[in-house]
Structure 1
Amino acid sequence: MFGKVMKQELRANSLLYGVASAIALLFAFATIMNRRAMVLDYLMQAPLLISGCTIAIVVLVLLFLVHTALRYQKSMYGNEGYLTFSLPVSSVELITGKYAASALWGIIVCVLCGLLCFSILYGAVEPSATELFWTEVGKIWAMDGIRSSMILIAVSLTLSMLETVAILYLAITVAHLPFIRKGNGIFALIFFFGISYVEGKVLEFIPSLSTAYIEKTMTAIINNADLDAFFQGIRSFMLPAAISTVVMSVVYLAVTVILAKKYTSIQ
């Protein structure tokens, strides 16, 4: 049933994300291809296309988070809740199936945002400097430390977005417990920011994730002004952060499953 739940969620959201992805790809492609135009046309159109890519990034992220929250609330505790709870599916399969579908859409959104960011950088380079741009990109990518750090940053950002989904699921589930009869949406927002705040305080006890350590590391990086040292410093707290993000996501999903199973009609 896990596969069926995931398939149903993907199908329900395919049109919205398909249109959003097509628009994002259109902006990215137009920004990249615009550099083939004459210099005058490029100077006139590039700022508009770069602004469009920037707006597309913001819209994609907000669309994903807001729609994920609304979709989960509607399918679990809204108009579709009765049908959802009547399905012969376990709470684990139901929650994880929905989360897996959201995670897949989240990964797609992150990839699109990465493409849009590259389009912004590439679109900001003057046509005469294209060869130099690709030469510098090749040099940077050839450095093992820098390459691994950039991949780690991308993975960490993606994991952070997926953890946000897990927090949303938990916050909405808690906001629909039996003792909360009104204002579920407001309580969901309160619980969402409350859970995030508590997590931040808990992570302060981990030395490599404490605010003091991160500030000290970033200060040393700025003072050193060395690219290798910069990425080495980034790795020193990004890797523990990525691991903690995975652990916390699993914890949030586990608590969500337990609460949904205990306080709803899921069997």
Structure 2
Amino acid sequence: MKKEEIELLLLKVVVNEEEALYMKIYRDGTLIRHGVGGLPQLGISAMSVFERSPCFETLLARIPDQLLEEPLHYTEETPNGALEYLLACYGVSANGETGEQAAWTRSTGIRFLLDAKTSFSHPVLGFLDHFVMDAAEISNEWYFDVMVHARYGALSSALPAQTMIAQPQTEEEVHTHFEHYINQMLQSARRWDMNAFAAGKTYSAGEETYTGVIQQDVQSFRIDFLPGPKAAGTQPPTEVPPKKKGWKFW
């Protein structure tokens, strides 16, 4: 399969049927994701449509042509629990669609299904591990805005107009998943820094506009919403009012 034929990159890291990371990255600018790469699985996911994909071309360029021409599928017995890595590439639509409704006629990819205590080693496995984390890193700032909107009801000025978020029905569940998200970001082996994620943005809730100020160190995270011009003279909230639960279009 040739790179110019590829329209979709599908990435998954699954641990004992829990999706630590799930991403669909389309050439047309559609981006879908849930998870950071850790456990437990996060129950907040989103789909945004960008005018230009923030990561498709960057990631596609990192895939060696040989891996596209020679798919690799390795499976072993998993008596101690399963760990799955997947990179799947799709293209050449039979129905003319190149998004979620596409009927792909060509595909290739890499899949490893490993025992949790495996001693298996392979250069392609190392590549794939780095590749999926690169994809997460490139889209981290967008996913941060998704999580902030789910948790606080604060809409980032950087989120595309065509964005859809799915989240648990109860506020308590949302809070729990947000805490898991923050913990996984803080504990990531890549030492992800969220301090700059709110830079150059505003966050809105109802009629009010806020600036997000983040404080993070190796053990803690805090975001405060300071009032912007429309909210001058009001008390800056630490948390803005929560939004409605479920799917959200704007």
Higher helix share: 1
Asked if TM exceeds 0.5, the reply is: no
Structure number with the bigger relative contact order (C-alpha 8 A, sep ≥ 6) is 1
TM value normalised by structure 2: 0.28
